[in-house]
Every structure is written in C-alpha cells, then in structure tokens.
Chains A and B, each alone.
Chain A
Amino acid sequence: MQALELKDIQGIILRGYAELNNASFLLLRIDDGGLAKRWLKTLELRNAEERPRALDSSANIAFTPSGLKKLGLAEELRSMFSNEFNEGMSATAHRRRILGDHGDSDPRGWRWGGPANEPADILLMLYAFDEAALQTFVDGQIDRLVRHGLGVIDRLDSLTLPDRKEHFGFREGISQPDLEGFCQNSLPGNSVAAGEFLFGHPNAYGQYTDRPTLPAQDDPAGLLSPAPDHPSRRDLGMNGSYLVFRQLRQHVSAFWNYCAEKARAVFPNDNTEACVSLASKMVGRWPSGAPLVKAPHGDTTQVSDDNDFLYVRSGDADGLRCPIGSHVRRSNPRDSLDPEPGSDRSTAINNRHRIIRRGRAYGPPAAASMDPRDIIGKPDDERERGLHFICFNTQIGRQFEFIQQTWLNSPKFEGLYEDDDPLVGDRGGNEEAPGGTFTIQRQPVRKRITGMPRFVTVRGGGYFFMPGISAVRYLASLK
C-alpha cells in the first residue's frame, strides 16, 4: 500500500482539527476572476501532514461548478465532474425527493444553496482554537479577500459543544472509516480504500473514479501530477474530494418532548431515565457515546469512544441491543447486510457506502452541560441550533446520496416496513400514516412508537469540489 502524499491533501479531509474548537464557513462570490486567482495563489492552506497545534489557525477551500467556471476552467473539464456535482444538491426534483428536502426542508426556503439564494462560488473553511482567535482570523481573511474581487455571501459559524456532543446531547463523530495508506491500526471491517475519499487513488472496486484530467500541454508549469490511469494526462482531481455540506436544524425541544411523551410506554422506570433510554435506542449509542451493542443496559463512559464492534458478529443480529432502525446502525450497518450477514463479504459491501464526516455544531446549546437530563423539560427557546453537516466522498451517488436514500430515509431498511431514521429521517415514506414509526426489537414482543415528527430539517446545502493543494495552485494559474 502506497502512503498518501499528505502535503498535497487539504487537511480537513484527513484531520478533524479537534484542537481547533471554532470554525467559520464563508460562502464567497467571485466578482473578478483575475483578482480572485491572485488571492488564491497566496492563500495559505493547511495540508494533512500534521495535526494543527492548539494555537494554530487553519484554512481550507472548496469550489462549486460556477466558481470553477469563473476561474476559467474549461467547459470540457467541468463536464468531467460527476452529474451530481454539476447539477447541484437542490436543482432537480428527483434529488430533492431522495434527500428528503420537502416540506419545511424545501430548498425554496433555504438560507443558502436554494433557488432563491445568491449562488456561492467558493466555500472557505476557517478554523481556530477559540472564538476570539477565530474572529481575528476571519477578519483578516475577509479583509484580504474583499480586496481581491471576492464578496462574502454568508458566514456560517460553528462551535464545539462540551464533550464533543451534538445538540440533542449525544457524543458525536466517533465512527469514521480507516483509510488504507493512512490509518495504521484499522478496526476489523473498517478499512476502506483511499479512492473512496480521494481522487487519483483506487476505490473500493479497484478503479479510479472519474474526475477531470487534462492533456499535459495544458499544464505547462507542470503543477499537476500524471493521472495514474492515464499517464499521458494530468490529474486535476488528484488528492481532491467532493465535499457535501448540509445545514441541518435540530429541533431539540420537539425531540425530547416526543421522547418524554412516549417513554413510559416503552420503559417502565423513572421518566427522565426512560426518556434517555428511548432516545438512546433511537440513536444507537448512549449520550456518552457508548454503543448499545457493548453497553445494552445503561450508559458507561468506559466505552464512550468505542467503535470496535460489529452487529451480527457482536451477537446482535436481531437488534435486541441496538435496534435495526436506530440512527447509527442504519447509517453504517457494518456486517448486517445481505446476502451473508456477519461475513467479510457483508462488510465489504457496506464499505462501498462510506463517508468521512467533518460536521460541526452551530447555535447555542440548549443546556450548558449538554447533559440530556438538563435539556429534558426545558421550555423551547425557539433559537436555531443544529449541525453543519460536512462529509467527504468521491462518488456522491454511491456514497452520500445512497446512505441518505437507501439507508436513512428508506422506511424499508433491513426488512422494516414504515420506519425511516428516527433521528434524521424525512418522514416521507408513508402516505397512509404520516409521521415516523420506530420499532424496538424485543422479546417476546417488539415495542413500537408512531406519529414521530421530523426532528431535523434542512436550512441550506451544496455540493463542492475540494481540490488537492497542487490543483488549487493550478486553478490559480489558469489564464
């Protein structure tokens, strides 16, 4: 296995920047392509070679098709990107349908990325260790870019919640694929080909995913490396990736109120504990992050970051510990898939649908401690809070969209009938009985709760291309 060229890979793809607590995502418009390229030439980008130190700041950059066009990338090359990227997240009725972007999540009502919003050309991702440092960093960046023919369309600020939780109160971002050529000690069944996340490397089918490549004479300065599958051509995609961004609003009060209302029917103990138990069944992990497969009876911080488990081979084929329809199980079914659950073949099939997640929370926490016990019963302050969901993959259709459509939003996942994802599902699958159903497999008889409203709605989103660092330099050098 060849080691990855970490210096050419933008850092956020391989590193989560956990040291940098605050982030700001700037949506930029290019007003003057020539000036913008001068800015791009000198923009300092963090690569993946080493983790940032605590006092560092980091910048990374990604582009939309319109941004690449304004920089002067030829139509012929732009058409070599995938249809998903070129069409965009919200442009077609079919894509809105499979992503669940209807009703309150309709792109027409989005804050950014929808048909009514000013289209963005660039996503500039800025990270720093705290709010004050971020502010200084962002101010400096904005000051420079507005002098270089760029304008800020929107600024999306993110923060890190206590114990790295998301707004419902659960520890987040624990499970990530282990990249071949990068991760040394990968967990069983969790090693995934680098080409699933970085162009220019073999993917899970041993192929090089399509991306733009160009004749050598179009790269006179020799900035790009040869395409491994077409050595006579230069690889614009090399070490780049597609970045999927969704601004997901979390309806925290609605979520906990619903759990409180249904909990006693499912768990006969004290209502707060029943409520936490039910919510944990929906998530598939306890608030500390402990997986239900390993901690079926109660939360324990001893396994709070544990990701070393499967479902069938860990003895939970029937979902008696971690329900089949729970959020973590359906977003990464591990070894549960047909035709041979519990086999290496099953995990291999699963691993053709993985993403690297780099999301960050936004908006004020519902309780400073982020302990669900402090959130339950709190009146709704009606302030917007949620997740800036960000993920990386090289085939949006087979990875991000597949997970969203076939696993999360499908009420038919793994033999279920009307259960979409209890946490993030779009509740669009059942015309006869609106609202979601969640089934908890149990002996002798399952429990199920119905009439579940949508707890997560979409406020914005887009597909971006995050190039490798030499490809950024190439874009900056375009005539």
Chain B
Amino acid sequence: MSHQEALTVIAEVDEAQVDGLKRQLGSIREHGSAWAVVPFAKLTRLHFAQFVVLDAARDLDGVPLPARLVLLTTVDAPMSAHLDELSTACGEGIDAVFSHCRAYPAPADRSPATRRKYLHDRCVKSDAVHINRRGRTVEQILQEERLRREINTMLDAGAVNGSPSEIRNQIVESIRRRSDLDWALQPPAPPALSWRLRNLVHGVFYGLLAFVVGVVLLLGAPLWLWILRRHEQREKPDTTAAPAAALQALRDDEDYWAHNQFVVVGCFKPGLFRKITTRLILAVADYATRHIYNRGTLSGLNTIHFARWARFDGGRRMIFASIYDGTLESYMNDFIDKAAWGVNAIFSNGDGFPPTVYMVGKGISDEKAYKRFLPTRLVHSCVWYSAYPHLTTKNIANNEAIRKGLSGSMNDQQSAEWLARFGTGNHLPESGRAARMIDSLPWDRICRRWN
C-alpha cells in the first residue's frame, strides 16, 4: 500500500485555442463522471481528477497572465507510475487535450515518453496537501465498500443470531469461507516503510525546527503583529458579488454525487510582508496537514477528502482545489461555524479577502462577506472524475473500521459497538492529540470577537 500525492500540471494555452479547448472539455453537467476523452477509470491509482481552464488575466500590477490548462489529480504513490499510466493508457486523450497548449509535441513526435516529459516539466509543486487519511488507497476504499455491502446482505438475510460476539464470529467465519473477501481478515498494509520513516523524520525535524524558529519568532511577534494589523487596516476587501449568471453556471455542475469539487484561484496581496507571511503560513499548513490533520479531520471538519494549495505564476497566484462531501452551502457554513480561523489564516493573504483581525479573527465569520467573496474566486472545472462518487469520508472511515473489526479479538461490548456500524457510520476514529487540542480552543468566540 502507499501514501497519496497530488499532481498539478499547469500548461499555457494559445489564446486562439482557448475556445476549442473548452469545447473539447465540455462540462460536468454534460458528461458527468464518465468522460470518454481521457478514460480516467483506467487509472488504477487515481482517486480524483479535474481539468480546469483559466482564462487569460492580469495580475494586480496589470501584467498579463496567459490562459492556462490545469490538470489536477490525486493518486496513490508513486507519482512516477501515475505519470506513466497517464501517458500510456490515457495517451490519446492527453494528446487531444494538451495539443491545445503551447509547446506540446507535434503529432509526429508524440509518444509516451514525450507526453510524460511534457506533463512532468509543467508540474507545480503543492505547498500543502490535505489527505483525509494518509495511507488509504483507492483500492482499499473500493474493496472495503464491497465488503460492507456483502456483510449487509448477510445481515438482511437474518443469517446470524446470538450475542454480539457470537454474531461477529459468525460474520468473520463466513468471510473466511469467501475467497473473494478473505483479504479483509488481514488489516490493510501500511504505506511503504521508507515513506513512513521519511515522514517520521520530516515530522520530528521540522517540528524541532519550528520550535527553534518559533522561539526566535516569538521575540519578533509583537512587531509582526503590529505590522500585520497595519496591513489589515489598510487593505481593501473586494465587495463586488459574482454575477448571477456566473453563479448559475457553477451551480449547474454541482450536487450530482455524494461529494462536490471546487477550484479557487486568486492573487496574493502585494508587498514583501504578505509574501513572507504567505510562505510562513503555507509551511505551517504543510506541516499541519502531514502530521496533525492526517486522520480524518481538517481543522475540526471531517468532510474534506482532499485539498491542495499550490502557488504558481512565480508565487503571485495560488490555486486551491478541494473535494468535499455535501453541498457548497454546507461547506461554507461548516467553515463559518467550525473553522473560520483556518480559512482566515491561509486565505487572508489573498487579494480581496474579507477583512481579518490578527489573521484569524473576523474574516469569513462574516457570513455575508464570505458567501459573496468565495464565488468571485471560484473557477469552473470542466471535467471531474471521482473513483468513488457515492462515498463520503464518513462512509469510507466506517468501512475501514468494519474491516478492521474483522481481525483481532473483541468482548461483547466491543462487538456490539462494531455491529452498530451497520446501523449508521457516524462514529469516526479520533483525530490525533495535537489536532484535538487545537480544535478544542474556543475558535468561535475568538473569530467572532471583532464582529
């Protein structure tokens, strides 16, 4: 089994080719999750994929930015195997789409190797990636959903009886007799040892570094806060609303499945101070998503499958993409109600963001400002693929707990709790200690203090 990685490919599109590219990509409402041009379903390591076209624009200084094609995927490592698959199994589709882009190999020069190089050369490194649960592969997710369905069929047939422990034993025994399901009696293999070691070293090293740097920064904190506050008081929020037609176009592609996707693109606020602060915050976000929020939750929210933050255009712009359960309305309310501080800290470095106070306060806890602002930075995803469109993060976590419950020993009480997972899967595994500590702070009051 392996850990998960995010691929972000950003390629320049010829101005004259933008319309043709958009026609080629179509829209989610037309093709749903089954888009014939690039057969994503063939990619065995793929969780999610999106194609986004960014229109030509200007940055805050008026410098023109060319139109872009963005390919976003989330995959099981190694990334090199994913790039291989993309340029072979999906080669023709990649040609069809990327041939609209500048410097794509001419038809005669197209081969798996040239495609791979083209994609590889245009990869943008993610600054931070949130993965709902690190180490859970797409294969595991699909297998465990099948397992739950099979056990449910057993339970519906009334084929079990007795005490909770007896029932559990009967289920384990019948799984043992099924050659197509007996894999479930072993816990899933963890990610590769080398990755776990590297991850551990990363956690310890940067944790210590953060501690040392933190002590130094603490001395500078009053000055930093003073400068920050002055910036916040001077910066102007963007209060224009997105046109109703643009909103409608976004809505038309939402709410087909259990989860939705969105992509946000924006410019950073100008100036050296914001530049340094952005770097610092993204480094913290990177550390937090790797080592703190890596077990089901992100700042107290348990509905995010994947999210990534990546700077591009020489650090002037950022792309943020998220796959989340439920609706955009529930997503926004979740963040306002439960984790305004997290959104404020990261995104308040973006131009036009609702005014914050000391970075975490106010900001999106102003419901009207947030719901007006977010749609103005949303960009339209033309293509979206999910390997498990009918599963929520809660479903996936519950399925994993069902599978784990098939091995090891349990007393009657534990068996009863395990059996309750077939009634509803609302009991999530606990997040890490540091995550629980951060989430237990009274953020609501902190964020709303200045409202």
Contact = CB atoms under 8 A, between A and B. Distances in A.
Q: Does B bind A?
A: yes
Interface of A: 83, 86-87, 92-95, 97-98, 205-207, 209-210, 318-319, 324-325, 338-339, 345, 348-349, 352, 397-398, 401-402, 405-406, 410-412, 414-417, 430-432, 439-446, 448, 450
Contact of B244 (A86, A210, A348, A352): A86
A444 B164 contact: yes
Interface string B133-175: 0000000000000001000100110001001100100000000
A25 to B, nearest CB: 28
B325 interface: yes
A197 B327 CA distance: 23
B333 A207 contact: no
B423 A406 contact: no
Interface string B296-311: 0000111000000000
20 contacts: A205-B366, A324-B423, A352-B333, A398-B329, A406-B326, A406-B329, A411-B258, A412-B326, A412-B392, A414-B424, A415-B395, A416-B424, A417-B395, A417-B425, A432-B390, A444-B167, A444-B416, A446-B155, A448-B152, A450-B156
Ranked nearest first, the 5 interchain pairs of A and B with the lowest CB-CB distance are: A415-B426, A446-B423, A441-B423, A94-B251, A415-B425
Nearest to A349: B337
B367 interface: yes
B313 interface: no
Contacts, number: 124
Contacts of A318: 420, 423-424
A445 B329 contact: no
B422 A446 contact: yes
Contact of A92 (B152, B251, B301): B251
A351 to B, nearest CB: 11
A205 B244 CA distance: 24
Contact of B330 (A402, A415, A442): A402
A313 B197 CA distance: 44
A412 B252 contact: no
B252 A92 contact: yes
B329 A324 contact: no
Given A402-B333, A446-B419, 5 more contacts: A352-B337, A405-B329, A415-B394, A432-B390, A444-B164
A142 B371 CA distance: 43
Contacts of B423: 318-319, 324, 439-442, 446
Contacts of B366: 205, 207
A414 B337 contact: no
B137 to A, nearest CB: 21
B65 interface: no
B255 interface: yes
B184 interface: no
Contacts of A352: 333, 337
A325 B426 CA distance: 12
B327 A445 contact: no
Interface of B: 29, 148, 152, 155-156, 160, 163-164, 167, 244, 247-248, 251-252, 254-256, 258, 300-302, 325-327, 329-330, 333, 336-338, 365-368, 390, 392, 394-395, 398, 415-416, 419-420, 422-427, 439, 444, 448, 451
A398 B84 CA distance: 45
Given A92-B251, A93-B252, A324-B426, A444 B163 contact: yes
Contact of A405 (B244, B256, B327): B327
A124 B333 CA distance: 34
Contacts of A415: 394-395, 398, 424-427
A83 B444 CA distance: 28
Contacts of A325: 424
B417 to A, nearest CB: 10
A265 to B, nearest CB: 9
Nearest to A95: B251
A207 B160 contact: no
A397 B333 CA distance: 11
B410 to A, nearest CB: 13
Nearest to B427: A415
Contacts of A93: 29, 252
A125 B270 CA distance: 56
B424 A319 contact: yes
Contacts of A439: 423-424
Contacts of B398: 415
A445 B419 contact: yes
Contacts of B336: 205
Query: Of A95, A97, A446, which is in contact with the most chain B CB atoms at under 10 Å from its CB?
Result: A446
B252 A443 contact: no
Nearest to B442: A345
Contacts of A209: 368
Contacts of A411: 258
A98 B255 CA distance: 7
A106 to B, nearest CB: 17
Contacts of A205: 336, 365-367
Contacts of A406: 326-327, 329-330
